[in-house]
């Protein structure tokens, strides 16, 4: 009921265009990048953001797109980090080809537009990799999509165009588990809004849900021989990493997501095994029944919402190390190529040394021991509570070590970040993007997240004096 009211407000009080989506295939591999149009369609709902946020001035993401008018004026743009582009930095991409399905969403245009697909060059600058042309009079544009699901209104604070619209989607829930999904979602939402900067900005968010049952309970986990055909297609072991949960079923999840107003999507996977993932401005995933589910939500949302880098570097990942170190585009990692000009210098006290000392070798020695135990548990397919106990042991050690280090409250440049112990630096000694410690986002991450909230939502009106 609430949803219907706001959707009506969206279309009557303020003229909101419909949401359009261009789906395409991209094939990458050795010396290959081939883009092919799948289709353009009109989604059932209105565009969920205000016109003030049409242009993305933030410049985050490994990818992006610009929609231009007939005169070549940029009209709409977004940064994002695509699953396909992430695959290109795994070892597999040097040896074989792989095709991905991807989407570009934008408000309905009133005349012909071109869409430049952006990728980063060797200097991390955006360049146009491909251009699509869209003519609104084209009869091939599919306008037949209708509303088949009623979105669950978990928390509605205003019309979608004025709020950040977060959509929680169910994956690996059987048809008898809708009540579990609703309870899981409420628990995750509660944890999420207990954490800054989301806590003090709660009224600037709407939270929606979409429940589509899967045939089986739980998602695929190929490393243990489990393959389930689920609603969203999420799977562990993405790119060969046991804890990495992604879906490659872009068309399936996009069609379901289109049933709710959304800018951000978190897929709740109905599993206990520790795992998750976060693609900037595409989607995030997490295993809801894991004891670390609240941490997974906050950490993966940091990737998904603001393109924050992983500040950790002691857990194994499938990405190949870059051949040449250049300044990362992520707001919370730096190569410190100019130590006099730290990326986040407005937050650094003049008395803080750069690079900033911290108990790095002690931290690394302990982290290596934990990684060894972690791999042993996974190799033996051990019970999940063993992993939870190990994480707790790690947390106690790291909290004690980092909170008692001499610059623990300072912003500086701490060596070790972005999967690299030497080449990259992070802003504070600890952060939710670095460890699973119960610490806030570091000040650079918090500031970056706040910037996205300010961009995509309208602050509440001040009450009259």
Interface with Zn ion (CB under 5 A): 332, 431, 433, 442, 445
Kindly provide the residue ranges of all beta strands, DSSP E only, lying in 275-419, ordered along the sequence.
Answer: 276-279, 283-287, 414-417
Burial class (CB in 10 A: 0-12, 13-18, 19+), 223: middle
Looking at the DSSP assignment, which residues form a beta bridge with residue 276? 244, 286
Number of H helices, E strands in the chain: 8, 17
C-alpha–C-alpha distance, residues 105 and 85, integer Å = 18
CA-nearest of 98, 342, 293, 96 to 183 is 293
Q: Per-residue DSSP letters for 281-315?
A: TTEEEEETTSTTHHHHHHHHHHHHHH-PPP---SS
Indicate the residue among 151 and 309 with the shorter CB distance to Zn ion.
Answer: 309
Burial 101-114 (b: 16+ CB within 10 A, else e): bbbbbbbbbeeebe
- Please report how close the Cβ of residue 445 comes to Zn ion at its closest, in angstroms: 3
- Please report how close the Cβ of residue 343 comes to Zn ion at its closest, in angstroms: 12
Indicate the residue among 105 and 436 with the shorter CB distance to Zn ion.
Answer: 436
Indicate the residue among 117 and 429 with the shorter CB distance to Zn ion.
Answer: 429
Indicate the residue among 7 and 433 with the shorter CB distance to Zn ion.
Answer: 433
Indicate the residue among 256 and 308 with the shorter CB distance to Zn ion.
Answer: 308
Q: Is the peptide bond before 259 cis (omega within 30 degrees of 0)?
A: no
Element (H, E) at 360: helix 360-379
- Please report how close the Cβ of residue 427 comes to Zn ion at its closest, in angstroms: 6
- Please report how close the Cβ of residue 408 comes to Zn ion at its closest, in angstroms: 14
Indicate the residue among 367 and 433 with the shorter CB distance to Zn ion.
Answer: 433
User: How far out from the chain centre does Cα 197 lie?
Assistant: 16
C-alpha–C-alpha distance, residues 253 and 336, integer Å = 39
C-alpha–C-alpha distance, residues 244 and 132, integer Å = 32
- Please report how close the Cβ of residue 71 comes to Zn ion at its closest, in angstroms: 41
- Please report how close the Cβ of residue 330 comes to Zn ion at its closest, in angstroms: 10
- Please report how close the Cβ of residue 322 comes to Zn ion at its closest, in angstroms: 21
Indicate the residue among 28 and 198 with the shorter CB distance to Zn ion.
Answer: 198
């Amino acid at each position: 009921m609430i949803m219907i009211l706001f959707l009506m407000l969206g279309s009557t009080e303020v003229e909101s265009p419909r949401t359009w989506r261009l789906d395409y295939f991209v094939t990458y591999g050795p010396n290959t990048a081939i883009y092919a149009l799948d289709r353009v369609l009109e989604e059932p709902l209105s565009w969920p953001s205000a016109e003030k946020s049409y242009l993305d001035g933030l410049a985050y993401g490994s990818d992006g797109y610009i929609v231009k008018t007939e005169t070549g004026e940029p009209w709409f743009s977004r940064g994002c980090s695509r699953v396909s582009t992430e695959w290109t930095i795994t070892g597999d991409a040097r040896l074989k080809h792989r095709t991905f399905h991807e989407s570009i969403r934008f408000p309905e245009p009133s005349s012909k537009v071109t869409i430049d697909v952006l990728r980063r060059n060797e200097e991390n600058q955006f360049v146009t990799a491909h251009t699509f042309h869209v003519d609104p009079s084209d009869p091939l544009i599919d306008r037949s999509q209708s509303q088949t699901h009623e979105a669950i209104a978990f928390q509605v604070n205003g019309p979608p165009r004025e709020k950040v619209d977060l959509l929680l989607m169910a994956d690996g829930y059987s048809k008898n588990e809708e009540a579990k999904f609703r309870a899981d979602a409420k628990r995750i939402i509660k944890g999420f809004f207990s954490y800054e900067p989301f806590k003090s900005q709660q009224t600037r968010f709407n939270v929606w849900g979409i429940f589509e049952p899967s045939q089986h309970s739980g998602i695929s986990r190929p490393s243990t021989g489990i393959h389930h055909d689920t609603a969203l297609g999420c799977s562990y072991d993405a790119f060969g990493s046991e804890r990495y949960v992604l879906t490659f079923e872009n068309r399936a999840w996009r069609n379901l997501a289109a049933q709710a107003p959304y800018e951000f999507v978190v897929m709740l996977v109905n599993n206990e095994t520790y795992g998750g993932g976060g693609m900037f401005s595409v989607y995030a995933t997490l295993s809801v029944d894991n004891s670390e589910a609240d941490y997974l939500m906050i950490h993966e949302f940091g990737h998904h919402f603001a393109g924050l880098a992983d500040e950790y570097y002691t857990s194994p990942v499938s990405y190949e190390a870059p051949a040449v170190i250049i300044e990362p585009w992520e707001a919370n990692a730096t190569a410190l190529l100019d130590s006099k000009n730290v990326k986040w210098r407005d937050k650094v006290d003049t008395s803080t040394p750069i690079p900033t000392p911290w108990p790095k070798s002690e931290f690394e020695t302990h982290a290596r021991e934990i990684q060894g135990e972690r791999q042993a548990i996974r190799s033996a397919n051990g019970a999940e509570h063993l992993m939870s106990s190990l994480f707790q042991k790690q947390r106690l050690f790291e909290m004690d070590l980092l909170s008692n280090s001499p610059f623990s409250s300072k912003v500086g440049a701490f060596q070790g970040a972005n999967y690299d112990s030497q080449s990259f630096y992070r802003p504070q000694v600890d952060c939710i993007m670095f460890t699973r410690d119960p610490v806030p986002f570091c000040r650079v991450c918090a500031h970056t997240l706040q910037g996205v909230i300010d961009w995509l939502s309208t602050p509440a009106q001040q009450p009259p004096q």
